[in-house]
């Protein structure tokens, strides 16, 4: 059973520790089984690609792309632009919504 994560695809986050500390980006993908996320422009790695025979990999070279980063190193950025912790609250219609611990506002 995987843990319920508080960061979702499309959220704006800031990195709070590690080599990419202080960088901000939008979450492109969340991998719940490994508790990691791929964030746009954060944790860039270089991949050396060998030239292939088919049309897609005709040219080789060095490709820069985002590598997964642990969710525990990310903090959600709320509407005001400040990093905040995430809480959950039951709304009037019975749905569980995410709220910002700093401002108390709902996170869309």
Identify the band that residue 57 occupies on the pLDDT scale cut at 50, 70 and 90. low
Torsion of CA 29, 24, 87, 9, to 10 degrees: -20
| CB atoms near residue 65 (< 10 Å) | 10
| CB atoms near residue 37 (< 10 Å) | 27
Q: For domain 12-51+61-79, say whether CATH 3.40.50.2300 is its number.
A: no
Domain ranges of the chain: 12-51+61-79
Residues 27-50 have pLDDT tens digits of: 999 999 999 999 999 999 999 988
Backbone angles phi, psi at 24, to 5 degrees: -115, 155
Residues 1-18 have pLDDT tens digits of: 778 899 999 999 999 999
| CB atoms near residue 42 (< 10 Å) | 25
């Amino acid at each position: 059973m995987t843990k319920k994560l508080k960061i979702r695809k499309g959220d704006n986050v800031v990195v709070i520790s590690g080599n990419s500390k202080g960088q901000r980006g939008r979450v492109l993908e969340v991998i719940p089984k490994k508790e990691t996320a791929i964030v746009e422009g954060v944790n860039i790695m270089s991949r050396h690609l060998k030239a292939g025979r088919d049309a897609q990999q005709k040219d080789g070279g060095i490709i820069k792309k985002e590598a997964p980063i642990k969710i525990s190193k990310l903090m959600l950025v709320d509407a005001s632009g400040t990093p905040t912790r995430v809480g959950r609250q039951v709304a009037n219609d019975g749905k569980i919504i995410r709220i910002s611990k700093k401002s108390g506002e709902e996170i869309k």
